[in-house]
Amino acid sequence: MGAIVGITGVGGGSLMTPLLLTVYKLNPAIAIGTDLWFAALTKVSGSVAHARHGHVKWRITRLLLSGSIPASIVTVLLMQHFGYNKSGSGTLTFSLGIALLLTAVVVAFKQSWNRIGLRLERWIPESRKAALTVLSGLILGVLVSLSSIGAGAIGATLILLIYPRLESRYIVGSDIAHAVPLTLVAGIGHAAMGNVDWTLLASLVIGSLPGIWLGAHLTRRLPDRVIRTLLCLSLITAGWKVIH
């Protein structure tokens, strides 16, 4: 899985959670909770690296967090209240499937989002961007808490649509800086409900470290179109199987 993350640049949750469901046969809630912790732990080093290089727009990150953290806390509390933990609720699997299909769309049209964002600028004045950023964070907070997916590719795309003139390094850096605390908060909520397989998590984190390094080197040898095509097919297949 680490190699896949390194090759595609997409958050591990997009393929990790379906893997935990199909290969390890975990309950959906446990798969989601375990993946949230995997994402939080594996993205810390990337977040620190981007911050050291000045690639994080902290205002954007703070606005995203002001929406996503409260949304995540409320979502987890509602999950606990309605028993969406180890009961294998269809709500969780449906949310996961939708998140996978959304990620596939985001990846498939990766080259188009910047042009769409530039066209949207005439309807999105600077005075509205802060509110839209908070709203984006709120959406991500709910989506990530329900599915463990969205803090990576979807988050970066939302930033790009609101701030289309922002350089890619700042979009990626701000997105990762936002993803770490969001996945950690959501992960803590799932852990409180007993939705984390700690033994499996430790093995996944240890195994991912050399995999990410290997994937980062392999991506230099593979055309971007091939990577995106294979990833989209994997996401669509996984999303369709989860929903059905």
* CA distance linking residue 118 with residue 178, whole number of Å: 23
* Structure token digits, residue 174: 């701000």
> 10 Å Cβ neighbour count for 198?
10
Among residues 97, 76, 107, 78, the alpha carbon closest in space to that of 17 is found at 97
* Structure token digits, residue 91: 């709500």
Q: 180 near 13, Cβ under 8 Å? A: no
Whether the pLDDT of residue 192 is over 90: the answer is yes
Among residues 36, 31, 24, 28, the alpha carbon closest in space to that of 89 is found at 28
Whether the pLDDT of residue 201 is over 70: the answer is yes
Whether the pLDDT of residue 217 is over 80: the answer is no
- What is the tens place of the pLDDT at every residue in 25-75? 888 889 999 999 998 888 887 788 888 889 899 999 999 999 999 999 999
Q: 226 near 107, Cβ under 8 Å? A: no
Tell me the pTM: 0.86
Among residues 101, 106, 143, 42, the alpha carbon closest in space to that of 234 is found at 101
Q: 178 near 136, Cβ under 8 Å? A: no
Q: What angle do CA 87, 92, 95 make, to 5 degrees?
A: 170
Q: 162 near 136, Cβ under 8 Å? A: yes
> 10 Å Cβ neighbour count for 208?
22
* Structure token digits, residue 100: 């996978």
- What is the tens place of the pLDDT at every residue in 114-165? 899 999 988 999 899 999 999 999 999 999 999 988 888 899 899 999 999 9
Among residues 167, 166, 161, 163, the alpha carbon closest in space to that of 116 is found at 161
> 10 Å Cβ neighbour count for 3?
19
pLDDT cut 90: percent of the chain above it = 40
